[in-house]
Amino acid sequence: MTRMRIALVAAAAAATLAFAGCASGGGGEAEESAEPAPTFEAGTTMAALQEAGEITIGTKFDQPLFGLVGPSGDPEGFDVEIGKIIASELGIDEENINWTETVSANREPFIEGGQVDLVVATYTINDKRKEVVSFAGPYYEAGQSILVLADNDDIKSEEDLVGQPVCSVTGSTPAANLKELGAEVLETDTYSNCLEPLRQGDVVAVSTDNVILAGLVAQNEGEFKVVGEPFTEEPYGIGVKLDDTDFRMFINDVLEEAYEDGRYEEAWNSTAGTVLPFADPPAVDRY
Amino acid sequence: MDVVIANLPLYLQGFSVTLLLLAVGGVGALVLGTLIAAMRISPIATLRVIATVYTEIIRNTPLTLVVIFCAIILPILGSDLSFLVSGMIALAVYTSPFIAEALRSGINGVPVGQAEAARSLGLGFGLTVSMIVLPQAFRMTIPPLINVFIALTKNTSVVGGVGFVSELFGVGRTLANANGDAVIAILVGIAFFYLIVTVPLGLLATQLERKWVVQR
Amino acid sequence: MSGASVLFDAPGPKARRLSRIFSVVTAVLVVAGLGWVVATLNAPRESGGITLPGMFDPSRWDIVQDPEMWGFIFSVGVWGTLRAAIVAAVLAIALGIVLSLLRSSTIAWVRIPTAVLIEFFRGMPVLLMMLFILLVAGTGQYWAVVSALAIYNGALIGEALRAGLVALPRGQREAALSVGMRPLQSKMLVEFPQAFRQMLPIIVAQLVVLLKDTSLAYIVGYPELLRVTLNNLGSFYGNRYLFTLWCIAFVLYLAMNLSLSWFARWLSRRTDRRYHPGKAGPRPDDPSQALLLADATAEASESARGPLR
């Protein structure tokens, strides 16, 4: 690792010299091809990635609208688009992005162990996670919401879930929130496993981030609906190695640029925007 | 270590669910497995075929698929069971061919002469099996059966992995997700609870099997 | 007790007729039961105010016409499963060889820790091992899956090989030593190859277990058959195809495992004939039972004549 880093630093330094004088990356151009190669300070993660010419991004593979792999094998969704924007700012083409599936259990270990360079995977920023990884963003503000059968009029808000059986995913933040709320939580491996118990009446609702629920509603036309207002705030962040402040700040810059120049909105509209309304992006948190 | 102690009630709760799955799943498997073994040696061809097909299918299907079947597809068929019970059913079904196999190897250990003698005394199929063969087979069946139960103990984790049932492994996963800084301690704690069931059982099985081999 | 035929009389005409009637009745009952299952699954259901089509409705099966889906299932799912299983199998056998040699060492402080280690690995759920390796060793999904499977099955294969070593006639080793071979030479060149061939059926049967256990890899998000069908494609095509995808996964697993099982059995019959001519001794189909038997035989003969030196 160390040896590799030294080599990369040296190479990156050379690259920096070669490109001295060029304008630094981004600058508002939407077309990647016309963009001059950005330069980064030697020794930073950005320089190393740019030099390597490829990046490994962790995302979900089974999350409609955000990160989903279909039979084509390429992941698609809003998280994936955000990942592509970051990669392009590093001068890395789409085809040089290695997508790796991260599930809830392996996001932190993968960042810590260096299996991925960054994680964009409907990844809620919270204090406990901040102890092990650093977060850029947030780039989207989700909120926990409630999914019920379309003909259910008994449940209108989270207060109606108290003491009721509700399905969510094992060990997830929504599951913990539900327990705190006083609901009887049924935990399973994936959200799609929750739908059959909901049909059968084993649970009265499925509860997790509104954007995930929106995906489930869209895929099962007319059968389910989302009720009430989101009752938690789930700011989605981009996970990077703990204390890699340069990289975190770089991603924050990229996000702000993308907010400005419309790439963010474009990314949204082509993915999650087909089902969900566009919301103004949250301000990034440069902690 | 602190995490384990702080969450000891959760651990014990998960462990008790694991033991419950083990006990009820085990008894269910014993009943089903005996039935399968009996069908396999019965004189009625259809029963033999059914038992063989059942054994082949179940033994070549991953437990994960069986668990998902019981949790998600059984309700469509109209079952109104809790997920704990469907987990038990999955374990019982999955384990039953292995029980049948253990019984079969026990029955095969009874010398043919025993059955021949019984038959020559005029005992029929039922009496020969129930009075002569099974009582002798039973003793020799104990070690292989223990072996099956060890596997069953470990397999209960799959039920928790797929979910709906919060047993030891499920508890471990939840805790590991919630405490990213103490994953090792949490998982070692989980492993400990499995090992206090499986290791003594394993030693017992080898001990008994050894005695039986010597006697033979 | 081989051959159940001794248990009942050769049936007379009456018994034969009775048995035939009973056979037919059971067959009818089973077919009726299966028919009921299919009919129930195929019944449309009311849910959330709309009617869902039955499980065998064409609208739930249209994806099977999509060649891209099959390409994905095979190139990612089946290949992911096989890729993990094959490498894990090779490593498990290698580990098994090492463990069996250490376990049958004459030096107590090598033999005893190995035995403890083997007991430890045998008692752990594979699922837990995968998660542990993933979270603690930081190896990535593929190696977490492969190493957990290799360690667990390696421990079992090691036990099988050790049993095979002990079960060899003592003369093999004595002859090797008497022609001037060193103990290690004798073990590697004379005893081990024989033990390996004897235990091959058990080992192959254990590999069927290994192949089946790759499905546990869904827990760490490794893309294998189960995860690809039920999670990825299940999310892509939507929940309405869950049953369809379950059926596809089921059939594919069955096909892979049955072929390997049949191979194991064929191998077992073949080696049985070669090594135990005339003695059609029953060999348990289940590798863990065969292992227990071999293990106990080994230990019994070991204690009867003292460990091999």
pLDDT tens, position by position, A85-109: 999 988 888 889 999 888 877 788 8
pLDDT at position A34, please? 45
For residue A238, report the phi and psi dihedrals to the nearest 5 degrees. -110, 115
Q: Which of B183, C135, C244, B154 has the alpha carbon at shortest distance from A103?
A: C135
Query: Are the Cβ atoms of B177 and A187 closer than 8 angstroms?
Result: no
Residue A122 CA to residue A172 CA, distance in Å, equals 12
Q: Does B172 touch chain A (CB under 8 A)?
A: no
Q: Is A252:A284 a contact under the CB 8 Å cutoff? A: yes
Q: Which of B159, B168, B160, B162 has the alpha carbon at shortest distance from B192?
A: B168
Residue B57 CA to residue C215 CA, distance in Å, equals 16
pLDDT at position A99, please? 92
Which chain C residues have a beta carbon less than 8 Å from that of A61? 221, 223, 231-232, 235
Which chain B residues have a beta carbon less than 8 Å from that of C24? 46
Residue A64 CA to residue C140 CA, distance in Å, equals 24
Which chain C residues have a beta carbon less than 8 Å from that of B210? 296, 299-300, 303
Q: Is A14:A50 a contact under the CB 8 Å cutoff? A: no
The answer on pLDDT for A31 being more than 70 is no
Q: Does A219 touch chain C (CB under 8 A)?
A: yes
Which chain B residues have a beta carbon less than 8 Å from that of C2? 108, 112
Q: pLDDT class for C272, splitting at 50, 70, 90?
A: low
How many beta-carbon pairs below 8 A join chains A and B?
Answer: 58
The answer on pLDDT for C6 being more than 80 is no
Percentage of residues in chain A having pLDDT higher than 90: 32
How high does pLDDT run on average in chain C? 84
Q: Which of C202, C271, C210 has the alpha carbon at shortest distance from C87?
A: C210
Higher-confidence residue of A179 and C48: namely A179
CA B177 to chain A, closest CA, distance in angstroms equals: 6
pLDDT at position C171, please? 86
Q: Does A44 touch chain B (CB under 8 A)?
A: no
Residue whose structure tokens are 């050790």:
C162
Q: Is A141:A235 a contact under the CB 8 Å cutoff? A: yes
A129, A171, A200 ranked by CB distance to B75: nearest: A200
Beta bridge partners of A98: A56
The answer on pLDDT for C283 being more than 70 is no
Q: pLDDT class for B216, splitting at 50, 70, 90?
A: low
Determine how many CB atoms are found less than 10 A away from the CB of residue A106.
Answer: 27
The answer on pLDDT for A15 being more than 90 is no
Beta bridge partners of A208: A145
Tens of pLDDT, residue by residue over B116-143, are 888 888 888 788 888 888 788 777 788 8
- What is the average per-residue pLDDT within B101-106? 81
Angle at A78 between CA A72 and CA A82, to 5 degrees: 105
pLDDT at position A14, please? 46
pLDDT at position C18, please? 87
Percentage of residues in chain C having pLDDT higher than 90: 32
Q: Which of A282, A257, A251 has the alpha carbon at shortest distance from A117?
A: A251
Longest dimension (CA), chain A: 67
A64, A70, A102 ranked by CB distance to C221: nearest: A102
Q: Is B162:B68 a contact under the CB 8 Å cutoff? A: yes
The answer on pLDDT for C140 being more than 50 is yes
Tens of pLDDT, residue by residue over B44-81, are 888 989 999 999 999 999 999 999 999 888 888 888 88
Lowest model confidence (mean pLDDT) among A144-148, B168-172, C12-16, C273-277: C273-277
Q: Is C224:C84 a contact under the CB 8 Å cutoff? A: yes
Query: Are the Cβ atoms of C52 and A223 closer than 8 angstroms?
Result: yes
Strand A224-227 versus strand A144-149 pairing type? antiparallel
pLDDT at position B189, please? 92
pLDDT at position C284, please? 57
Tens of pLDDT, residue by residue over C54-98, are 889 888 998 888 888 999 999 999 999 999 999 999 999 999 999
Residue C296 CA to residue A159 CA, distance in Å, equals 61
Q: Does A113 touch chain B (CB under 8 A)?
A: no
pLDDT at position C218, please? 83
Percentage of residues in chain B having pLDDT higher than 90: 41
Chains contacting chain A through 3 or more C-beta pairs under 8 A: B, C
- What is the average per-residue pLDDT within B13-37? 94
Instruction: Look up residue B180 and give its amino acid.
Output: G
Q: Is B170:A122 a contact under the CB 8 Å cutoff? A: no
CA B166 to chain A, closest CA, distance in angstroms equals: 8
- The chain C residue lying nearest A224, using CA atoms, is C48
Query: Are the Cβ atoms of B162 and A189 closer than 8 angstroms?
Result: yes
